[in-house]
Amino acid sequence: MDSLTLFQPALPAGALRDLTLLPTGRRYRFPRTARLLDIDASARYRTGGLPHGAHSDYLHPESAHLLMSLAEAAR
């Protein structure tokens, strides 16, 4: 067993869902059964200054769109 496996939570089947970051003109359809979402934003977040690189490249309209869509789904 590798060290990463030790820290992975035990989730029921279907609780973790993978989604892709969407453009602002598209509507998210969040699965109701998911407890944890893994958003792949690698196509959008590629640049950013030192020392963090892409981790500091989040100031885009798509970021706000995702955040607001999650807030709306949680209501």
> Is residue 9 reached through a cis peptide bond, with omega within 30 degrees of 0 on the bond before it?
no
For residue 53, the 8-state DSSP code is G
Q: Could you give the CA distance from residue 12 to residue 26 in angstroms, rounded to a whole number?
A: 29
pTM of the model: 0.71
Percent of the chain clearing pLDDT 70 (strictly above): 75
Q: Could you give the CA distance from residue 28 to residue 19 in angstroms, rounded to a whole number?
A: 9
Q: Which amino acid is at 36?
A: L
**Torsion, CA 45, CA 48, CA 51, CA 52, rounded to 10:** -20
pLDDT per residue as tens digits for the range 33-57: 888 899 998 888 877 666 565 666 7
The pair of three-digit structure tokens given for residue 33, joined into one six-digit string: 């059964």
